[in-house]
Amino acid sequence: MRFDFLTFSLRHGLFHQEQDGISCFLPGSAITVRFHGREVTAEIEDVNGEGKSWVNVYIDDLPVRVMRIDPDNRVYQLADDLEDAPHTLTLQKRTEAAFGTLKFTNLTTENGIFLSPPSPLPRRLLIIGDSITCGFGNEAQIPCDCDASRENIALAYSSLTGQFLNAETLIVGASGTGCYQNFGGSKKSRMSDYFMETICPYLDQKSMDPFHPEFIVINLGTNDWSAPIEPSDYLAQYRKLVDFIRSRYPSAQLFCAIGPMHLGPSPHLQTLVEELNKESDKPVHFVEFPLIQRPEDGMGGCGHPSIKKHRQMAEQLAGTIRQLCF
């Protein structure tokens, strides 16, 4: 009998019910199950067949393994020498959508049984961003060490902020994307359009679980400033995104963040936030992450924040949200 993901798993993020399992593509998407037994095995498919998707494995809330999902292999023995007792297993997609989509097709525990899944966390957080939000290169050992294996969403500020707030976190992030333009100036597949035109319809029509965030963070602008830009164009598109979010999630607290790789958009974004607050009684909050200081903050891949810097960002962001909203 195939594992019943709908009944026996707690899903974190955005999942789609497939005929033979459940699939996900966003970074940080995860499933948590509980079982009583000594061993557990998962069947996972690399949908794209490129072998660039990686998964974090946690047993009883402890990280036990990092796995590359091999296109030529679908069966993964996750543990075989556990105490014969109740356990919790979490499988988290640590890489962004550009590195592939995963499909979880089965879970088994020989001579054991699956139990009811844990309850979801009490809060809901949505973070929209670029490579910084995805944790791109945060585990890099050398400056240009930026392949998929060095991206760990669990240690990105986005995931850590959710942990600090005890919140289920939906991370909509993609490297190179911007609000008005992407890295280098392209306006194709901008994150603002991607969120409004792809992710939200997906949530409404295909997602297994509804998601109604209490807090929403936008961190877009770093890639916008990678090529010549008129700030007014950035602000017009940013306002369009904010208006969409406000209409879709009218009760959510909105945080407009920038940094820590480039603060060029900062004064323009701060002015926009001030204007938005004058125009409406729905508050919008501005957050500026200080620029990366080297060598104090360490160095991630390709100029991105290190694990240390990500934690600093998460502490700042979670502290700000607590101060203003709790």
Q: pLDDT tens, 47-71?
A: 999 999 999 999 999 999 999 999 9
Q: Which pLDDT value is given to residue 146?
A: 80
Q: What is the spatial distance between Cα 217 and Cα 284, in angstroms, rounded to a whole number?
A: 10
Local structure of residue 26 (DSSP, 8 states):
S
Q: Which pLDDT value is given to residue 145?
A: 72
**Is the model's pLDDT at 142 over the cut of 80?**
no
* Backbone φ and ψ of 284, nearest 5°: -125, 135
Q: Which pLDDT value is given to residue 195?
A: 98
H or E stretch at 318:
helix 307-325
pTM value > 0.95: yes
Report CA-CA distances (Å) from 31 to 92, 147, 198: 7, 24, 22
- Confidence at 144, pLDDT banded by 50, 70, 90: confident
- Confidence at 266, pLDDT banded by 50, 70, 90: very high
**Contact indicator for 143, 299 with CB cutoff of 8 Å:** yes
Q: What is the pLDDT of residues 224-252, one digit of tens each?
A: 999 999 999 999 999 999 999 999 999 99
**Is the model's pLDDT at 85 over the cut of 80?**
yes
**Is the model's pLDDT at 141 over the cut of 80?**
no
Hey, which residues does 22 pair with through a beta bridge? 17, 104
Q: What is the spatial distance between Cα 54 and Cα 33, in angstroms, rounded to a whole number?
A: 19
Q: Provide the 3-class DSSP secondary structure of residue 22.
A: strand
Q: What is the spatial distance between Cα 117 and Cα 5, in angstroms, rounded to a whole number?
A: 10
Q: Which pLDDT value is given to residue 105?
A: 98
Contacts of 305 (CB under 8 A, 6+ apart): 132, 138, 157, 260, 261, 292, 297, 313
Phi-psi map region of 162: left, alpha, beta (phi>0 left; psi -120 to 50 alpha): alpha
Q: What is the spatial distance between Cα 118 and Cα 97, in angstroms, rounded to a whole number?
A: 26
Contacts of 10 (CB under 8 A, 6+ apart): 31, 32, 33, 117, 118, 119, 120
Give the number of other Cβ atoms within 10 Å of residue 6's Cβ.
12
